[in-house]
Chains A and B, each alone.
Chain A
Amino acid sequence: MKTIYKLLVVVTLICAVTAAFAEDLEVMHWWTSGGEAAAVAEFAKAFDATGNHWVDAAIVGGEAARAVMVSRITGGDPMGAFQFNHGRQAEELIQAGLLRDITDIAEAQGWKDIVNPPTLLDACTVDGRIYCAPVNIHSWQWLWLSHKAFEDAGLPVPTNWDEFVAAAPALEAAGKLPLAMGQQGWQQSGAFNVMMATLVPQEIYLAVYKDKNPEVAGGEEVAKVFKAAADARAMSAKSTVQNWNDATNLVITAQAGGQIMGDWAQGEFAVAGQVAGTDYSCLPGLGVTEMLDTGGDAFYFPVLKDEAQIAAQGELAALLLKPEVQVAFNLKKGSLPVRGDIDMSTANACMQKGLALLAEGKILPSTGQLITPDTSNQINTLFAEFFADPSMTPEDAQKQFVSIIETAE
Chain B
Amino acid sequence: MKRPNQLFRNLSAKIAAIPMIVTGLFVFVGGTVWTVVYSFTKSGLLPRLKWVGLDQYERLWSTKRWLVSIENLAIYGISMLVLVFVIGFILATLIDQKVRFENAFRTIILYPFALSFVVTGLVWQWILNPEFGIQSIVRDLGWKSFTFDPLYTPEIAIYGVLIAGLWQGSGLVMVLMLAGLRGIDQDIWKAARVDGIPAWKTYLFIVIPMMRPVFITTLVLVVSGIVKLYDLIVAQTGGGPGIATEVPAKYVYDMMFAASNLGQGFAASTMMLVTVALIVIPWAMLEFGGKKNG
Chain A positions near chain B (C-beta within 8 angstroms): 63, 66-67, 70-71, 74, 89, 91-93, 96, 183-184, 240, 242, 372-374, 377-378, 381, 384-389, 400, 407
Residues of chain B with a CB closer than 8 A to A240's CB: 129-131, 152
Tell me whether B260 and A63 are in contact (CB under 8 A): no
| Cβ contacts under 8 Å, A386 to chain B | 242
Taken together as a complex, chains A and B put the C-alpha atoms of A149 and B154 apart, in Å, by: 30
Which of A66, A96, A184 lies in contact with B238, CB distance below 8 A? A184
Residues from chain B with Cβ under 8 Å of A89 in the complex = 260
Q: Is the interface of A mostly helix, strand, loop or mixed?
A: helix
What's the Cα separation between A96 and B45 when bound, in Å? 10
Is B26 close to A, CB under 8 A? no
* Cα distance A386–B154 in the bound complex, in angstroms: 12
Q: Please, which residues of chain A bring their CB within 8 A of the CB of B255?
A: 377
Residue-wise, chain B 241-268 has the 8 Å CB interface mask toward A (1 for contact) of 1111000000001110111110010000
Interface residues on B, range: 20 to 34
Q: Does B46 contact A (CB under 8 A)?
A: yes
- Contacts A183-B240, A381-B65, A385-B243 known; 16 new A-B pairs at CB < 8 A: A66-B257, A91-B45, A92-B45, A93-B45, A184-B238, A240-B129, A373-B45, A373-B260, A373-B261, A374-B260, A377-B254, A377-B258, A377-B259, A381-B243, A388-B244, A389-B242
Which residues in chain B, 130-167, are within 8 Å of chain A measured between CB atoms?
130-131, 152, 154
Which residues does B use to contact A, with CB under 8 Å?
A: 44-46, 59, 64-65, 129-131, 152, 154, 238-244, 253-255, 257-261, 264
**B152, B259, B260, B261, most chain A CB atoms within 10 A:** B260
Residue among A67, A184, A387 with most chain B CB within 10 A = A67
CA distance A67 to B265 in the complex (A): 13
Pull 30 A–B residue pairs with CB atoms less than 8 Å apart, ordered by A.
A67-B257, A70-B260, A74-B45, A74-B46, A92-B44, A92-B45, A92-B46, A92-B260, A96-B46, A183-B241, A240-B130, A240-B131, A240-B152, A372-B260, A374-B44, A374-B261, A374-B264, A377-B258, A381-B65, A381-B243, A384-B239, A385-B65, A385-B243, A388-B154, A388-B240, A388-B241, A388-B243, A389-B154, A389-B241, A407-B59
B243 contacts which of A66, A184, A372, A384 (Cβ < 8 Å)? A384
Q: B69 to chain A: closest CB distance in Å?
A: 11
Contacts of B239 in A (CB 8 A): 384
Instruction: Give the chain B neighbours of A377 by CB distance below 8 A.
Output: 254-255, 258-259, 261
Known A384-B240, A384-B242, A385-B243; contact A63-B257, beta-carbon cutoff 8 A:
yes
The distance in angstroms between the C-alpha atoms of A388 and B244, with both chains bound, is 9
